[in-house]
Each structure stands twice: as structure tokens, then as C-alpha cells.
Amino acid sequence: MPEGRNRAFVIAVDGPAASGKGTLARRLAAHLGYAYLDTGLIYRAVGLALMRKNMVRADPGAALQAARALSLDDLDDPELRGDDVAGMASQVAALPEVRAALIDYQRRFAQHPPGKAKGVILDGRDIGTVICPDADAKIFVEASVDTRANRRVKELRERGVTAIYARVLEDMKERDARDRSRSVAPMVPADDAHSLDTTNLDAEAAFQEALEFITSQNMSDA
């Protein structure tokens, strides 16, 4: 905890899939010595729990049960990274009762970061708007959907997964539409978020721009 403060610094990094927000958030956390939580993994873990029960559509009751039973260890499962899990995650993330059940977990992490870190970075879709509306700095990371689909294809191929661009693009548009239009905590930039478009930026340039913004936010420690 920073001296003279009774709470950790909080940085919210939101944005759509493959916008570069995860890479950026991890890098900022390492640079600033802050704890990091990828909140997408939480929804993915709930989605994966349903898939393991052979569900193809998210049943609200089962999803709520899985959300309540979630433990930290569940977030380490390598299977969480798959695009099929992402689709199910986006479905469970549209269920208001599931989101409500996961709010406390995320806020607790922000208020009491592991290892007593002086700050935290949470990345997701609704961190700056719903989970941590009082965050010290908010960044909304965007990129064109074609750029994001291209990045995802590259990433999948590097992992040895066969990926067809048209299919990846279609999945991404479907997931974006669901995440942006759901009734609870839709993916929208907070009014006071810094907008960072990475369509024509590499990871280094995005990091420099974000760091400059954070430094300008009177976070004496950054």
C-alpha cells in the first residue's frame, strides 16, 4: 500500500478481444510493480465449467452455480485460452446474476491486492464503468475489427492451431455485438477513460502512450 493512502492505486484497462489490452495491462503491471487480474479468465472459467458438463448454451442456473463455486486455481487452466471457451464466456457474461456473483471477487482483488502490492491493474470490459468506477486511471483500448481478427489468427497459428480468417472475423463480430449490447454492464468506454486505438500501434508504442497517460493522472507513484 502506498504510504499515506489507505487503498491501492487502481488502473482499469477495458476493451474488446485482441485489442491489445491484455498485453498492455500485463506490461504496465510489470513496469509499475502492480498486481494484475485478467477478469476475462473469470468468465472463461465459468464458461469452461459448463462446457465440461457438455452444455453448448449457457444455462443460467448452472452458470450461477459455477460462478459461486469459482476458485483462484480455476484461472490457471490452459484450456481457458481457447476460442470455443471465449464464445461460452461471452454467453455467461451476458447473464446479470452471473455478473453480480462475480463483482465482489473482482473488487476484493482491487482493494486487497495479493502480496500487498501498491496498485492493481484489472483488465476486462466493465472495469472502469462498473467494477471500479473510482479507478485512478482508466484506459479503453480499441482497434479495428479486421486488425483484431488478423492478430487473433496470427496468435492461433503461432500456437499451432488451424485458423481461418473469415471464421475468426465472424466469431469476433458476434462476440463484440453480444458484449456491447447486453443489458447489464455492456462493453462501453467510461466517460473519463483515455481512448487508446492500437490499430496502427505496436505493443511498445501502445505501452508508451498508456504510461504517459497514467503519469499525467496525478498518481504520485506511477
Contact residues for ligand DC, defined by CB under 6 A: 17, 39-40, 43-44, 86, 89-90, 93, 124-126, 175, 179
- Tell me the closest approach of the beta carbon of residue 115 to ligand DC, in angstroms: 22
Complex with ligand DC: residue 33 or 96, whichever CB lies closer: 96
Complex with ligand DC: residue 17 or 210, whichever CB lies closer: 17
The neighbour count for residue 174, using CB atoms within 10 Å, is 12
The neighbour count for residue 144, using CB atoms within 10 Å, is 13
Three-state DSSP class for 216? Answer: coil
Complex with ligand DC: residue 2 or 96, whichever CB lies closer: 96
- Tell me the closest approach of the beta carbon of residue 125 to ligand DC, in angstroms: 4
Complex with ligand DC: residue 59 or 221, whichever CB lies closer: 59
- Bridge partners (DSSP) of residue 35 are 120
Contact between 53 and 63 (Cβ < 8 Å) = no
- Bridge partners (DSSP) of residue 138 are 12
- Tell me the closest approach of the beta carbon of residue 1 to ligand DC, in angstroms: 24
- Name 108's Cβ contacts closer than 8 Å, sequence gap at least 6: none
Residue holding cell 469459482? 70
- Tell me the closest approach of the beta carbon of residue 2 to ligand DC, in angstroms: 25
